[in-house]
Structures are given as C-alpha cells and as structure tokens.
Structure 1
Amino acid sequence: MRQGGLVSPFPSARGRLANGEIGQPATEWEQRYRRTVITSDTVATAFVVAGIGIFFGARDAANWHEKWGILAFGTELLVLGALAVSRAWAPSVLGQGAEEFRRLGRSLFTAVVVLALGGIALTSRNIKLWIFVAIPAIGLVTMTARYLLRLRLHRQRQDGRCLRPVLAAGSPDTVSDLITRARKFPHLGWRVEAVCTADGLGPDGDHLDGVPIVGGLADVANHVRRDGYRVVAVTPDPHWSPDRLQRLAWNLEGSDAEMVVAPVLMEVAGPRLHVDAVLGIPLLRVSMPAFTGGRRVVKGIVDRLGAAVLLLLFAPLMVLVGLLVLADSRGGALYRQRRVGKDGREFTIFKFRTMVTGAHDARAQLAERNEGAGLLFKLRRDPRVTRVGAVLRRYSIDELPQLFNVLTGSMSLVGPRPPLPEESAAYGPDIRRRLLVKPGLTGLWQISGRSDLPWEEAVRLDLRYVEDWSLALDTVILWKTLRAVIHGQGAY
C-alpha cells in the first residue's frame, strides 16, 4: 500500500494483518468481539437464572409457571435490557480499562433497583432471592467471562492482531511519545501506522520512530478517508487551533474513524473530566480530586473488612513463613521499619524479614552498586537477602504482615508505595502529592512492573492514582495484583 508516495511497512485497516495473513477491516473484528461478549452475557445470565429457577422452583412445582417461570424470564430480560441501555456492549469500551466493568456494574445495579421496585409493586415474596442471589451471581459469572475474553483479546494483540490502525497527528515529540506508549502497551489495542506533522517531516526525514510520515496536518482527513484508519490521535501542536480541530472533526464525519484529542492535562482522566456547555461554549471541566467524602468512607470500610478476611485466610501461611524465616537465619520473623503515610505522618510498617540482621547498616557499603531508579535503593542480587527472603520477595509474600497496617488504618489495600522518611524528605512539591492519600499494599506501581520501572514512571503512576482514584480503579488494581504476584515480574 502506498501512502504519500512511500511504501508503508505497516498494514492499513483494509490490508494485511501484522502476522502476514489477509485480514478483515478493523470494524469487523470489533463487531465480532462485540457479538461474542453479548452472547457470553446472554448465556451466563440464562444459565444463572435457569439454575436458580429450576432449583428453587422445583420445590413449588404447582406454581412454577405462575411465579418462578415468570420471575426467571423477567429477570433475564431486565438484566439484558439494563446492559443495552447502559451501553455496556459499546465497542469503544469492550476490552478497554475499568470502564467496561464500571458499566457492567451500573447495569446490574439498575436491574436490582427496578426488580426491587417491581417486587414491592407486585408484593412478591420471592423477589429477595432474585435480588440478593440471582443478580449477584449473574455479576460474578459475567465479569469472570468478560475477563477471560479480555485475556484472549490481549493475547491476540500481543501477536499483532485485533489492533486499531491509528493515524497520529501532532508535533514530532508528542507523536513519538504516543508511538512509544502504543508499542509498550499493545493490549490497549492501538497500532500507529502513519504520522502527520506540521510540515510533513520529522527529525529522521520521512519517518518517525520507524513509522512513515504521510503528510501535513492539513491532510489528515484525506489520509483517513483513503486508507481507512480507525483512530485519529491528535497530539499537542501549535497548528491545532480550536477552529482547525472543529474543521477536522467535521471532515471526519461519515468515516469509520474515531477522533481522540490529547488534553493539556495529560495525567488527569477518568471520572474527573467532564464536558459542559457554558454560554454555548463546550468546556472541559476538571473536578477536584476526591480525598474525602462518601467514597473514601466506603474505601475505608472495604480496606478494614478486606484486611480482616485476608488475615484469616492467610493465617496458616503466615505462621509457616514466620517459622521458615526463623529457621533460615538469625533474627526475628518480622521486620519493622518507619515509613511516611498520609499527610506526611510517619508509621511503623510490618514485613517478614527477608535480609540478614544489620542489613540497613550495610546499605552504605552497597551505595555504588545501587540499581534502583531515582530515590529508590534496589539491587537485583542483593547479598543481604536470605535464601527464604528471595522467594518471599519474588512473590510479595513478605508484604503480608502489612495487612495489620491496613487493619489499623495507617495503610490502604490500594494506594501509592509508602516511602522511607529520607525519601520523603527529598520530595519536591509535585511528588509530595503522593502523600495526600494513604499508602497502599498494592497499586499501579505494583501491577506495572514494580522495581523494573524508571523512577519517573513510578512517580507518574502514583500521581495518576492520586488524581484519578475511584472504587472501580481499586477493584481493577486488586484483580491485576494477583497476576503480577504470580509472575513475580520486577520483584527483587
């Protein structure tokens, strides 16, 4: 395929897939994936509803058609209708971040409310079973099924399939950053196939990071219509005035392309961004971060209940680990260390001891071998780490005693990494924003590579969590932590 007189090494939306096979337009795999999700939700809902209806309805066979059959059929229609109304099947959210599960949860909550109101109106005695058993079971099954489908989709994207072809338009620096991120995180589904810059050139001539530059910013719409890109990613550039952006949006109407504009506030996203019409002008409203309020109360309750349950579940393992630590080297089973928490208040953190006694005093002798990024001190093969300690660190088992910190309120299940006092003392004003919330047992840092991350990236992730925190984001992080712990990537 020729683009602007150049032979592109990348397939277009209507060309070949990355693995060399003749592919379908991106819209076809998106619709196919959407149909798969709809089928999965429908089958899961029918399975749960039929199982509950048959099991409990068998006890009241005489009134099966009158009560149980009607309730079962009505519940299924209600759940599927709520999913449709809440746009839980929109292609733009399927396989993308926490929004997919947020819409799924909102749909099920809507079904619960409607079902409860209908039960009150009909004075049905059996409505509680469907509210407190059927719909939660539907939620568990559908979320699990969607997660498995997402894993399969992500594996396909790792192989270069099921990716949306992207035309990036902006300054070379910002487009280069977008290309780097798209390649680093292929599971997000973007593949930058072409670039437009202000003058149609980049630092390397007609290519930017190996991606062909196909024209100027004024030519974006023409290239989209000709080559069928699914996403137009507009990154900052002085060329993009409000009038030109509006004209581009108009010119893209009728195409299959989705226009995505990178805001100036790059690290603010999710629930804090709202588009409002003020005096007839569309304005991007940025709400304040939620450091207090009802959601924080819910988070605190979930933290303490979750910590209590996890301590009960892991109690036998923690006793065994403690004995192994004592048998492996001299010293106590637990290690206590001062850390900095919310608002700069210091607290004592608990961990299983993974190093020999006196390891902190020996740190100065190893300072020249430090492999940690920024203010962190890390060594992949730290001579102070014991044999048992190396295993505990790899699978994060050494951090289980921090559940006591969560239980007492000095930490949260999810949050930024708790820094040492000397690290906190070196923070600048921007990095100190990490201290606006409680530190966490896990967080975005934990699920994104841990010690393998550059210091700047670790800080960016922590600040992103502080700015964009939500209960849905916490749920996703907790879910992904399990996979990160099993793989042990970046843990040493």
Structure 2
Amino acid sequence: MQMSVVSRVPEVVRPRPDVARRSIQVVDRQASDASEWRRRHARALLVGDLFVLGIALGTAQLVRFGSTAAPQVDGLGVSYPALGLVLAAVWWISLQIHQSRSPIVVGHGPEEYRRVIVATFRVFAVLAMISLALQIDASRLYLATAFPLGLVGLLVERKLARVGLHRARTHGAATTKVLVVGGARSATQLARWFDKHPTAGYAVGGVWIPDAHAPVARLDGSTGEIPVMSASLDFAEALTVSGAGAVVVTDTEHLGHESLRDLTWQLEGTGVELMISPNVLDVSAARLHLNDVSGMPMLHLSEPQHAGADRIWKRAFDFVGAAALLVLLSPALLVTAVAIKLDSAGPVFYRQERIGRHRAPFRMTKFRSMTVDAEQRLDGLRTLNESDAVLFKMRHDPRVTRVGRFIRRYSLDELPQLLDVLRGDMSLVGPRPSLAAEVEQYSVQMGRRMYVRPGMTGLWQVSGRSDLSFDEAERLDLAYVDNWSITGDLMIMLRTVRAVTRGQGAY
C-alpha cells in the first residue's frame, strides 16, 4: 500500500474544529446508514437469546416433570411454567445489563462470550441467595438442567451469529467506513490491518491530516484509492468525502488536545463512533488498562504474560488434558499405528530433535508420515521448497506415504506428542516446536518464543497452518508468548478442532 501524489493544494489552512451545522445532517445520514446493520444484528440477538432461554427452561421442565402438569414451587406459590417465564425474563435482562449485545464487543474477541457467562452466573447466584433468604425449595434437577443448557445454548447461538456476521463482512457487507485522523503512515498501517482482517467490520474510507503541509494524496487500499485530505478541508467536509460512519484518531499530536475535545463535541448526537488507536499491535486487551493520572487518562501497558505460562496450574492443565485426550483418542491412535505399519516399511513413530523451553533440546514424537529414506531424499528436493524460510514445505511431497497424506491432513500425526506433554517437554498450547537450524537464525526478538514450552497447537496452527508465511507464523508465536492466558489457551484449543476438521493448510 503506497502513497502516490495526485494533486497539490494551496497554502495550508488551519483545521476548523467547530463544524458548521450545515454538515451535521450529512454526518447523521452517513452514521445512520453505517449503523443499520448493527441495529439488525442487535435485534437478531435479542430474539435469539429469548428463543434459546425459552428452549432451555422448557427442556428443564420436561426433564424434571415430563409431560405431566408441573406442580407449584415450594415456598413460592407459583407454578414452574410461571417460574420459567420470570427466570427467562430476568436472564434476558441480565444479558442486556451486562451489555453482551453491545456493538463494541459483538464479533470481536472473547469479551462477548465472557459477558454472557458473567451475566448467566450472576442470575443464578442471585437466585440462590433469594431462595436461601425466602426458603424457596425449587427443584435442583430443574435448575441443574436449565443453567448449563441455557449457557451452552447462548454461547452456541452467539457463535453462529458471529459466523454469519463474519461471512457478511468478508463479502463487503456489514462494514463501517472509517475516517482516520492522523498521519499518513499510521493510516496506511491501519488500512492494511483492516484489509487483512475484514471480519473486524471496518474499512478505511479516508484520511484527514488536520495540520498537513503536504499535498493531497491517496492511499491504495483493497477497495480502491483512499483519499488523504489536508487542512484545506474542515472536519465535516472530510467526513463527507470519506463517507465514514466512524472516526479513528491515530496520532493525537496532529490534532492537539483541545481540538480532540472539540471533535468529540462535534460528533455528539450524530451516531458516529469515535475511537482512539494506541498504535499497538499483537497486544491483548487484557494487558491494556486505562488509568486516571491527575486528571489525564493514561493507557497503561502491563508486562508480557509469558511468566504465567510457567505456573503450576498451567502444567496441571497440560497434564490432565493430555492424559484425558490419550484415553479418549486411544482407539484412533491404535488404528493409525496399524495403518502406518501396513502401508509402508519402517517404524510407526518418528522422533526428531527439537528445541524446547530455555533452548533445551528434546526428542519430539510423531506418527511416521514419510518413507524411511525421507532425509536422504531431501537434498534432491531443496529447489522445490515452497516455504520462505529454513523450513522445507512442499504441497505434493513425494516422500509422504498414502496413510501419511491422510494423517497429515487431519493432524493425526501430531497425536503422539501427547506423550511429550505428559513428560513436560511440551504443552498442549504454545509456539511451534523449533528445529536447531531455525533457532540458530533467530533474532533477539524471536528468541522470546523460547520462554515457554512449545505446543501441540498454537495461534499459527489455527490461523492458516502451512499456508502462512514464516514471518507471519513467528509473529503469531510471539503474540502468544506476550499475551498468554489460560482463557486464550482454551480458545485456541476450540479453534484447533475447527482447523483440523477442515483440513486446510495442512500438507
């Protein structure tokens, strides 16, 4: 995405923060058009939540009482259908109070799911306290069915709604145009980021540099040229040209504190979003904290979280999870081992030296997916390498056996690494295990990925697998190390199931 000058403007005019009221109607119309999809999505969630809650509570009544008429709740004097209606209404309102349908969190990260979980737990915590205080004896089976069934149903409903929203955004719908206020370089980075992540729902429609002394220029975006405007246009005119329903301030020094305050006043009541980008990438929201320092808001960035990955409960999670998976997947492990033995000569397992945490070498275990002479044949295939780094990747590698091709596609060859997890050499989730040749070429920054145990799965595996470039895979590994959390591990494991079943990017 390069800048190209297309025309020049006369002497720079100071930005005019006081927007003429004649332009506000245009802003209102643009914001209304941009937010229409949000209103539709919010309405769908309102109805969907109510439907799921009704199904969960109705099922709980059927499980407890069957098709017979439900009795009254002891100590309350109302029937269970009436209790279900009240509980559904309170639950539904709790989801609204916790802003689980807010456009700020819908479709972005785990926060939406977290709010659904918190709202649900608080409803039942309050119900438990009221039951204890008023000595209400509601059926434990009824509540034990309604609670998990409703929570799982809500999470599944939100996931399906998000999938539909992301699909619409990928095809250019449900997307809000953004006017970037700041420098051209940060605007270019932001435009690239939105182009790369269409599911975010934003696309740069224009750039306004309020203190520019440069000619008007354009950025090349995925949807065409993006106008870059200087102070020859006031803010309302820049907003009109960009067709934006949201404003992102990337470099506050171009605007100044007073002008930023005035800009918030100008957008008041227009429905146009105003966001300030801290210009940080690959940093989780959990590490950002907004603090008041003598009346000035300061964004505090906490230290990287890799130290948490060494805690005992992370190790306990790995050990228990690996043991459980070995038991559950033992039939698949046995069938795969037999198939490998019958398909080609050689051992069932393949062990290779990898570099683990703190650069300690270990022997990683996999199911053998290649012929026994694969290493000897490698030099003759070097010119066909499809990777952009020291890794050798080839979509149609002739050394891969018939069974090997199948188990690679669905990552069955990785399952024996559960034994490495039990031994403590690996983790269920972590950066990709490195070869010694790779580690020798690591920069100081890349060496940070050695702070934690390598994982069976990780961010790069659920973000494209072998289809990713080496640099992109390493960037994702570093992002994992710096932003580690147990919640993040659980999310990656859930995404791994989807990535493996699709079989995309594995060869």
**Fold match by TM threshold 0.5:** yes
Question: 1:95 aligns to what?
Answer: 107
Question: 2:198 aligns to what?
Answer: 186
Q: Distance in 1 between matches of 2:45 and 2:195?
A: 26
Q: Distance in 1 between matches of 2:284 and 2:50?
A: 32
SS at match of 1:212: strand
Structure 2 unmatched runs, 5+: 1-5, 8-26
SS at match of 1:490: coil
Q: Quick check: 1:88–1:103 contact (8 Å CA) kept in 2? A: yes
Question: 1:463 aligns to what?
Answer: 478
Give the C-alpha shift of residue 24 in structure 1.
7.6
Going from structure 1 to structure 2, the CA distance change for 1:259 and 1:409 (only over 3 Å counts) comes to: farther
Q: Distance in 1 between matches of 2:419 and 2:460?
A: 21
Going from structure 1 to structure 2, the CA distance change for 1:452 and 1:55 (only over 3 Å counts) comes to: closer
Among 19, 32, 41, the alignment partner of 1:33 is 41
Note if 1:348 corresponds to 2:363: yes
Q: Which amino acid aligns with 2:84?
A: A
TM-score normalized with structure 2 length:
0.84
Q: Distance in 1 between matches of 2:144 and 2:321?
A: 20
Q: Distance in 2 between matches of 1:93 and 1:253?
A: 21
TM-superposition CA deviations, 1:270-296 (whole Å, max 9, x none): 101010001222111112233456995
Question: 2:133 aligns to what?
Answer: 121
Question: 2:226 aligns to what?
Answer: 212
- Which residues in structure 2 correspond to 1:48-87 (within 5 Å)? 48-57=56-65, 61-63=70-72, 66=78, 68-69=80-81, 71-87=83-99
Structure 1 window deviating more from structure 2 (296-305 vs 319-328): it is 296-305
TM-superposition CA deviations, 1:12-46 (whole Å, max 9, x none): 9968xxxxxxx981212101101101211111112
Going from structure 1 to structure 2, the CA distance change for 1:247 and 1:331 (only over 3 Å counts) comes to: farther
Q: Quick check: 2:178–2:247 contact (8 Å CA) kept in 1? A: yes
Question: 1:142 aligns to what?
Answer: 154
Question: 1:415 aligns to what?
Answer: 430
Give the C-alpha shift of residue 162 in structure 1.
0.9
Q: Quick check: 1:201–1:207 contact (8 Å CA) kept in 2? A: no
Structure 1 window deviating more from structure 2 (239-248 vs 430-439): it is 239-248
- Which residues in structure 2 correspond to 1:359-438 (within 5 Å)? 359-438=374-453
Q: Distance in 2 between matches of 1:116 and 1:260?
A: 40
Structure 1 unmatched runs, 5+: 6-11, 16-22
Q: Quick check: 1:200–1:213 contact (8 Å CA) kept in 2? A: no
Question: 2:10 aligns to what?
Answer: none
Q: Distance in 2 between matches of 1:43 and 1:301?
A: 38
Question: 2:501 aligns to what?
Answer: 486
Q: Distance in 2 between matches of 1:358 and 1:79?
A: 62
Q: Quick check: 1:233–1:259 contact (8 Å CA) kept in 2? A: yes
Going from structure 1 to structure 2, the CA distance change for 1:292 and 1:107 (only over 3 Å counts) comes to: farther
Q: Quick check: 1:40–1:145 contact (8 Å CA) kept in 2? A: yes
Going from structure 1 to structure 2, the CA distance change for 1:401 and 1:34 (only over 3 Å counts) comes to: same
Q: Which amino acid aligns with 1:216?
A: S
Give the C-alpha shift of residue 112 in structure 1.
3.3
Q: Distance in 1 between matches of 2:193 and 2:504?
A: 19
Q: Quick check: 1:225–1:255 contact (8 Å CA) kept in 2? A: no
Note if 1:276 corresponds to 2:291: yes
Give the C-alpha shift of residue 127 in structure 1.
6.0
SS at match of 1:174: helix
Give the C-alpha shift of residue 125 in structure 1.
4.4
SS at match of 1:192: strand
Going from structure 1 to structure 2, the CA distance change for 1:190 and 1:122 (only over 3 Å counts) comes to: same
TM-superposition CA deviations, 1:197-245 (whole Å, max 9, x none): 435657xx44533323152267445433676522223334862544544
Q: Distance in 2 between matches of 1:132 and 1:423?
A: 51
Q: Which amino acid aligns with 1:355?
A: M
TM-superposition CA deviations, 1:241-266 (whole Å, max 9, x none): 44544443343333222223322433
TM-superposition CA deviations, 1:399-433 (whole Å, max 9, x none): 12222233343323222212122322322221122
Q: Which amino acid aligns with 1:213?
A: P
Percent identity of the aligned residues? 36
Give the C-alpha shift of residue 141 in structure 1.
0.8
Q: Quick check: 2:169–2:175 contact (8 Å CA) kept in 1? A: yes
TM-superposition CA deviations, 1:62-83 (whole Å, max 9, x none): 4356463454344323422321
Q: Distance in 1 between matches of 2:424 and 2:88?
A: 41
Give the C-alpha shift of residue 305 in structure 1.
3.3
Question: 1:8 aligns to what?
Answer: none
Calculate the aligned-residue CA RMSD, in Å: 3.1
Q: Which amino acid aligns with 1:45?
A: L
Q: Distance in 2 between matches of 1:100 and 1:84?
A: 12
